[in-house]
Amino acid sequence: MKTILITGATGFIGSNLCSKLIEDENNNIIAVDNNYTGTLENVREIADNGRFKFIEHDIINPLNIDEKIDEIYNLACPASPVAYQGEKAVFTTKTCVLGALNMLELAKKNNAKILQSSTSEVYGEPLVHPQVESYRGNVNPIGIRACYDEGKRCAESLFFDYHRLYGVRIKVIRIFNTYGPKMDPNDGRVVSNFICQALKGEDLTIYGDGSQTRSFCYIDDLIEIIIKVMASGDDFTGPVNTGNPSEFTVKELSELVIQKVGKINGKNLKVIYKELPKDDPTQRRPDITLAKNVFNWEPKIMLNEGLDKTIEYFSKRLALETKILTNV
């Protein structure tokens, strides 16, 4: 049996990872989260599994575990600007930095492999396109997004220092825009925003003129590469880009959502434009050559199919929430 600890386990990516890893009967899962942006509802379907245990804990504080840990996936951190900016900025930096330190210490103690979920935000407003792992980025260290961007950059530094100084077996992935079931409908991310607004018959909100680009990776594809990276030999540390290299403008995404959801609710949806937030990157596209060469991996689910799956999820979720509110 293998004991796997996952931080951020009730969040969007963490809960999907839990569900996938629990399918292997040789895996025991210890799920850790403070439920700030996650919810226990995301792991409800596996909560009664005897190989699954949930611990409510904030990894800003050290974590004491009696079991011998074999692998750690460090996914804990608010990942949307709505959740990490403003009054949560210092909390976000602490989660990135102190959380990484605490998980690295736990890995060191257990001689466990540890994977860090870093982010495309380490590249900032990129001057290189598409972004390759060797690019060092163009980040504003004093901007309103710096708590997340620089927090993640510092976490990467800590991981490699623990590897060099103490021999900790590390893996670092850089996650680009990911979407799919179990996203928070109120997290402020563009895919969930557009879909939920459209399903409610509201105008879709575009910040800026909509010419900024994003590359959208469906959650199942991301989970596949995360697991592949963790399973790799100790000679591979990363960092490695994980994302879909197909690039779309935000305006193109809005048009696709309007087309798909308009057929569902029959409403004439339109777009409204608002000011672009400060330091919001204008281009995002991963170069995934490394992931292709080392892991024979590339995304299989393209945006058209992934949006259908995600719209179906949100449609059911919003209908259930409406039913609950009506019965109350």
Indicate which CATH number applies to the domain containing 11: 3.40.50.720
Give 83's pLDDT tier (boundaries 50, 70, 90).
Answer: confident
Q: Does residue 91 lie within any of the structural domains? A: yes
Q: Does residue 114 lie within any of the structural domains? A: yes
Among the ranges given (31-35, 73-77, 238-242, 267-271), the one the predictor scored with the smallest mean pLDDT: 267-271
Number of domains in the chain: 1
Considering the chain, what percentage of its residues have pLDDT values greater than 90? 85
- The predicted-structure confidence for 31-65, as pLDDT tens digits, reads as follows 999 999 999 999 999 999 999 999 999 999 999 99
Q: Residue 263 has what pLDDT?
A: 65
Q: Does residue 251 lie within any of the structural domains? A: no
The better pLDDT of the pair 200, 262 is held by 200
Domain extent at residue 33: 2-179+218-244+281-300
Instruction: Pick the closest to residue 52 from 13, 8, 9 (CA basis).
Output: 9
Q: Residue 228 has what pLDDT?
A: 98
Q: Does residue 129 lie within any of the structural domains? A: yes
Q: Is the pLDDT of residue 97 over 90?
A: yes
Q: Does residue 253 lie within any of the structural domains? A: no
How many CB atoms within 10 Å of residue 212? 18
Q: Residue 296 has what pLDDT?
A: 98
Q: Does residue 273 lie within any of the structural domains? A: no
Q: Is the pLDDT of residue 267 over 80?
A: no
Are 245 and 288 within 8 A, CB to CB? yes
The distance of Cα 101 from the centroid of its chain, to the nearest Å, equals 20
The better pLDDT of the pair 328, 102 is held by 102
Q: Does residue 121 lie within any of the structural domains? A: yes
Judged by phi (left if over 0) then psi (alpha if -120 to 50, else beta), residue 66 lies in alpha
The H or E element spanning position 134 is none
Q: Residue 312 has what pLDDT?
A: 95
DSSP state of 113: E
How many CB atoms within 10 Å of residue 244? 27
Among the ranges given (101-105, 176-180, 275-279, 319-323), the one the predictor scored with the smallest mean pLDDT: 319-323
Q: Residue 323 has what pLDDT?
A: 61
Q: Is the pLDDT of residue 9 over 60?
A: yes
Rg of the chain's alpha carbons, rounded to an integer?
19
Catalytic residue among 73, 123, 148, 218: 148
Give 278's pLDDT tier (boundaries 50, 70, 90).
Answer: confident
Q: Is the pLDDT of residue 325 over 70?
A: no
Give me the chain's average pLDDT, please.
94
Q: Does residue 270 lie within any of the structural domains? A: no
- The predicted-structure confidence for 112-158, as pLDDT tens digits, reads as follows 999 999 999 999 999 999 999 999 999 999 999 999 999 999 999 99
Active site residue 148: yes
